[in-house]
Amino acid sequence: MNFKIERDPFIKALQKVQGIVEKRTSIPILSNILIEAAESDIEITATDLEVGLKGKYQAKIGKEGKITVSAKKLYEIVKELPNLEISFSAKENDWVEINCGKVKFNIVGLPPDEFPSFISTKEEVFLEVESALLRKMIEKTSYAICNDETKYNLNGIFTKVEHTENGQVLKMVATDGHRLSISTGEFIGTANPELLKGVILPKKGIYEIKKITDEGDGILQFAFINNSAVIKKAETTLVMRLVDGEFPDYTRVIPNSNDQIVKAKTVDLIHAVKRMAILSSEKFKGILLEIYQDVIKISSSNPELGDALEEIDIKYDGAPFSVRFNAKYLLDVLNVCETEHVLMKFKNELSPSIVTPDSDETLIAVIMPMRI
């Protein structure tokens, strides 16, 4: 097997798979990528058995065939090569020879037959979602994904198509038990049974979907095969094993009688929370919100460092009350609110509070207050 390829597209192709391959693996071949040359393209595949990525790239194929080599080393080498055409050949005993100008590398590979097989899609019906919409929905929920690996059913984003009065919507939900974020987007087409029931897309897979959406607008195609999600965009195919678990019933977490409504300027609130967080304790990042008519006092205190207080103007006409939050939880959601104002909806100082952008119903966050 041998082919020739330009350096820059080869660098980009190799960069794409760096996040997929396992860094410290007991299965050496998972540190490698599979390179297959056929007709006028090469296909590059990486997988850690949970998430896999395959991409197709133009190349001049001299002889068809396949080989696996270290994803990291090959990327390091190609990045440093002169900007000339690269010649790549598989040799005996799975060695690879790379030539570029007066530079020559011989690197050890592993037999391609040992590389895990990639899901093949043929007759599946693919759903279509706008890349830009999905990017926004991931941004608005991924901050709340649980990082505690023992809570495996929370290590991803619950994704579901729901029927509403006006048709159907796509919902993405993430929670770590302390806060919850729900993003809603338009969904056109016919949902399949998996999406109507809801699936949990794994955290690592979510970040790979995000990367694909970051590359540009367009349509992403989704299918579900054997407990895996398959996502296609142009010549890239991403596969991820769905999280096997029950996602908690988030609809029961959203309070429906929070009638104490505070309206604040988003940027003012972000800055105030950031400042007050400086003196909040490392461990809990607790800040106190004292809510009065049309003014909120935000404060923090730390026996070792001192205390801080700030007032900002708000719209509120209820009875005064106080609530304490982890500053990070509040900041995370404020940072993804894109409207000039945000609404904070309270029932009392101990019940779950709602934070949403003003007049934008595509994002609802629920945050548990800290005990005062």
Residues that bind a copy of itself (CB under 8 A): 70, 73, 76-77, 80-82, 95-96, 102-108, 271-272, 274-275, 278-279, 304-312
Helix residue spans in 84-155 (DSSP H): 131-142
Sign of CA dihedral 142, 152, 51, 73: positive
- Report the distance separating Cα 39 and Cα 64, nearest Å: 7
Q: Which is nearer to a copy of itself, 6 or 162 (CB)?
A: 6
At its nearest, how many Å lie between a copy of itself and the CB of residue 311? 5
SS3 109: strand
> 98 near 111, Cβ under 8 Å?
no
What distance in Å separates the CA atoms of residue 148 and residue 325, rounded to the nearest whole number?
A: 20
Would you give the DSSP letter of residue 1?
A: -
Residue 54 near residue 39 (C-beta atoms within 8 A): no
Query: Between 102 and 371, whose beta carbon lies closer to a copy of itself?
Result: 102
Q: For a copy of itself, give the closer residue by CB, 93 or 359.
A: 93
Q: Residue 44 CB, nearest distance to a copy of itself (Å)?
A: 19
CB 271 to a copy of itself: min, Å: 7
Nearer to a copy of itself, 178 or 275 (CB): 275
Two tokens at 30? 């998972």
CB of 329 to a copy of itself, least distance (A): 18
CB of 284 to a copy of itself, least distance (A): 18
Q: Which is nearer to a copy of itself, 89 or 153 (CB)?
A: 89
Least separation, in Å, of the C-beta of 246 and a copy of itself? 42
The runs of H, that is alpha helices, within the chain are 7-16, 71-80, 131-142, 193-197, 203-214, 266-279, 327-334
Nearest distance from residue 276's CB to a copy of itself, in Å? 9
Q: Which is nearer to a copy of itself, 53 or 288 (CB)?
A: 288
Give the contacts of 198 (CB within 8 A, at least 6 positions apart): 158, 159, 160, 247
d(CA 272, CA 312): 8
Query: Cβ closer to a copy of itself: 90 or 308?
Result: 308
Query: At closest approach, how far in Å is the CB of 159 from a copy of itself?
Result: 36
Nearer to a copy of itself, 73 or 347 (CB): 73
Residue of 120, 86, 206 lying closest to 158 (CA atoms): 206
Task: Assign 3-state DSSP to the chain and report helix, strand, coil percentages, each to 5.
Answer: 25, 45, 35
Give Cβ neighbours of residue 314 (< 8 Å, ≥ 6 apart).
Answer: 262, 263, 264, 291, 294, 295, 296
Distance of CA 277 to the CA centre of its chain: 26
